[in-house]
Amino acid sequence: QLACPLDLGCHSVRKGGTQECLLLRTCSLKLSPSLLAKVSARPRRADKLSMHYVGTLLGGPRDGSKFDSSRDRGKPFQFVLGVGQVIKGWDEGLQGAVVGERRKLTIPADMGYGARGYPPIIPPNSTLVFDTEVLKIE
């Protein structure tokens, strides 16, 4: 295991041409080596992020099915980091993200919509996968 290249307090392993960081138990970050050299200002709690994402389900009968996408709408999603405006997996998994970075967040149910889900879109106890891209940090 290597130290996390973004200094997020996690561990990482090199797989193929990517660095995979395991941040707590909430996400799996896929970073290309060229991106690692371009790390700039990182967001802090209460910073506003503008980003694109595609959300899919992991496991179950709808495995891999897309349930939401800001890209499909053609409009970036905006939220304030770390204040509970989004699911916990996003608040924790996007800490340390930089503009232009793409992260794949794999979020267990307890860090997403939990036992209640988000009917009829997200079944109860669903693991969610988000392909995210940070566009702007304010």
3-state secondary structure at position 133: strand
67, 79, 118, 131: the active-site residue: 67
Q: Is 118 a catalytic residue?
A: no
Q: Which one of the listed residues 53, 77, 91, 137 is annotated catalytic?
A: 53
Active site residue 130: yes
Q: Which two tokens stand for residue 46?
A: 């209460």
122 classed as catalytic? no
Peptide bond into 120 cis (omega under 30): yes
Q: Which of 68, 79, 118, 131 is an active site residue?
A: 68
79 is catalytic: no
List, in sequence order, every residue forming a beta bridge with 2; answer none if it has no partner: 12
Catalytic residue among 77, 91, 130, 137: 130
- The dihedral through the CA atoms of 45, 24, 15, 90 has a sign that is negative
Active-site residue among 77, 91, 113, 122? 113
Active site residues: 53, 67-68, 87, 113, 130
